[in-house]
Amino acid sequence: MLLLPVAVAIPGLLATFIHLRVPGHRFYRSVSFFPAVLSPVIVGAIFNLLLAFDGPLNAVLGSVGVSPVDWLGDPDLAMFMVVGVHLWTTSGMALVVFLAGFATLDPALLDADRVDGASLRQVVWHGSVPSSRAIQFVFVTTMIGMLTSMFGLLFVMTSGGPEWSTYLPEYYIWIQQGQMNRPALASAASTILFMIMIVVGLLQIKLLERTGRED
């Protein structure tokens, strides 16, 4: 959950560049949603090959004199790798929501900023902020996705390991239901996870609404 701001900021920044029509924006807009249509199992299998100890990524690092890294076998790195892949596969939907939020902005304001000679950073910071509703929606749905939509990647890439470092709640629920044959425990864990999502989602909405009123 510590990576949630990053998971929201990256598609938000890409959507901003597309909205401002920076060079290459048509290419980014065309390929941004592509990962979202791929199955998590397929994505996990692809990145299993890329991140393997003897895989292409380590081969490239070795060619420049960097020692191989056990991306999926190191407990300190495995979770970051899985979450990073998850963000890559789900950022397309968040980007679409942000672009919808940008569509509600008055284009005359952007033109006025450019006429006044505002820099790209000033335009992004002051003139190109999507609606608060879009930001709220992306925050809440991204949080829910991190809690409930990573099973496919976990199952294919790490199987909860190494050393339980990627043993997330939904994987625990599957273990209890499928392998341990404890449906009651799995149901209880599912209910707790559902309540956590409701509480965290409501807290996020309240916090974002308060921030919007202060701005």
- Between vectors from CA 138 to CA 131 and to CA 10, what angle results, nearest 5°? 95
Answer for the pair 194, 173: CB distance below 8 angstroms, yes or no. Answer: no
The confidence band for 158, taking pLDDT boundaries of 50, 70 and 90, is very high
Please report which confidence band the pLDDT of residue 201 belongs to, taking 50, 70 and 90 as the band edges.
confident
Residue 48, class by beta-carbon neighbours within 10 Å (0-12 exposed, 13-18 middle, 19+ buried)?
middle
Q: How confident is the model at residue 55 (pLDDT cuts 50, 70, 90)?
A: very high
Classify domain 4-214 at the CATH superfamily level.
MetI-like (1.10.3720.10)
Per-residue pLDDT tens for 106-142?
677 666 666 766 665 666 655 555 666 788 888 888 8
Q: pTM for the whole thing?
A: 0.81
Q: How do residues 175-199 score in pLDDT, each as one tens digit?
A: 888 778 888 899 999 999 999 888 8
Among 157, 164, 161, CA closest to 48: 157
